[in-house]
Structure 1
Amino acid sequence: MSKVYRPYQPEQSELLPPSPREWLPEEHLAYFILDTVKEMDLKVLLEKYERELRGYPPYHPRMLVGLLLYGYCVGVASSRRLERKTYEDVAFRIIAAGQHPDHTAIAEFRRRHLKELSGLFVQVLALCQKAGLVKLGHVALDGPKLKANASKHKAMSYERMQQREQELTQKVGERMKAEEEADGAEDRLYGKKKRGDELPQELRRAESRLKKIRQAKAELEAEAQAARQAQ
């Protein structure tokens, strides 16, 4: 009697595709980011695109903002890593709604809207802190809290609020700089148009890949046989 295993068919498609909302628990950070970005005023970004009526339809700024913001929160810095995450990571796939902007599009969006993105990210962090969060992914938001209901504390509270906004602005600025530096380093390492993890041409398609794998396997077996005969 042979061992019975649970069904495993990687090539089998699902008859009814699941909703992305079923892929992660309801309290996942990705959904919080989606809801937060939905409430953000992106007029300053959208107006730039409204003036450009020609050309191929761009990715929606709201999607790219969500992608960059989620990446910021979970420590994914470079645009190449963000591109890979839209294929490999469920949370990123949900935020990107199944789209896969390449690293050049992500890097260009960040470069073009750096000032606006920095301001938006500071707003998000301040909003999250006000909502009671002490941490957003890997980003610490907690800090000394002062009561603002008594008159003697109002000036101190306002001063602390200004200080905290400066701290958040500095934090976002440092992160944006690190992301640009990561992109620059990877551009020099891999070449501007390449991700750096591409398979050789003959291994990219299923038919030629299987042929190459079988050929390599046969060669290894032949080498092993030759080594045994030489002993």
Structure 2
Amino acid sequence: MTFNFIRYDQGQQHLLPKNVAEWVEEDSLERYVSDVIDHLDNEGRLDPFYPDNREDGRGRPSFHPVMMLKVLVFGYCIGIRSSRKLDRLLERDIAFRYLAANQHPDFRTISLFRKNHREEFEHLFVEILRLCREAGMAEMGEVALDGRRVQGDAALDQNRTREQITDEIHDILEEAAEVDEAEDDEYGPEQRGDELPEELREREDRLNRLREARDRLNATEQQLKEEQAEKIRQREQEEEESGQKKRGRKPTPPEEVELPEDSKANTTDPASQTLKTSNGWKQGYNGQAMVDCDTQVIVAQEITTDANDVQQLKPMLETCEKVNGKRPEKALADAGYWSKANAQLADEQTEL
């Protein structure tokens, strides 16, 4: 199978120096990352990152996925996650120029590659774990689990109720209609006039985020209705089996269940949640990591918006088993994970 890629050869000869491989030390991190990605590619473990083959061969050649992965993985290894910073480093940094073989994808290309391969990066995590096990690491003897509340790219004061969001959407749409009418008078109904002003681009982006925040609140309310309907079904089933009506007030019909008045969603990052931390409140996420105690290899990871850790022990053990093929012999976690229900998760295979 052939692909229409820009030719990518890290051994490409140059006048000075002879090739980019001479720019980095043999025992450097960038060379190690390069060798690991090459090994995974040679064994076909990176196939999900390859695009579908076009039979007609048309289209502009794309950057090689192996090169893009090396740049992203190395950047993440040294704590650089910004696509714009990676763009600059591909121009200025010897390690990145070596990994990219002097090619220079811009920040939009880097960001789009990451967005388009979100699920494939989960696959890469599993493949690297498998590689660690082949090397005798991450044997799943003793692991440690902990969570950390991470500040999202959002502010606490951007949380809105559904009514506030609806009013703001209305205001934006009214303003947009007035702007459209004014521009029709200025440029004519058939003329664009010029590129969309920055303030209008920002307004459209904000409108999309407001709609996303409103949809999240609507989805939460729908979930509450479905949970209430399930409670009623269970109650009716128990009454039918016992032949007696249950005492107490009848449950609220699902269609009458509504969101609490103080329910809010963030209009900057609708997926984030308000979380209480030791340093106060944060608008963000709860990152979970399970680590092999002997080798410090991360064997399972997850991101959640649950405010506490107590609900994360069971899913993290399940993720660990799914990714590694077995549960650990011993799992360590702090008191934030303790509950009577979680204590029942221990079995002959895993000591908690």
TM-score normalised over the length of structure 2: 0.34
In terms of fraction of residues, the more helix-rich structure is 1
Work out which of the two has the higher radius of gyration on C-alpha atoms and give 1 or 2: 2
When normalised by structure 1's length, the TM-score is 0.50
Specify which structure has the higher proportion of strand. 2
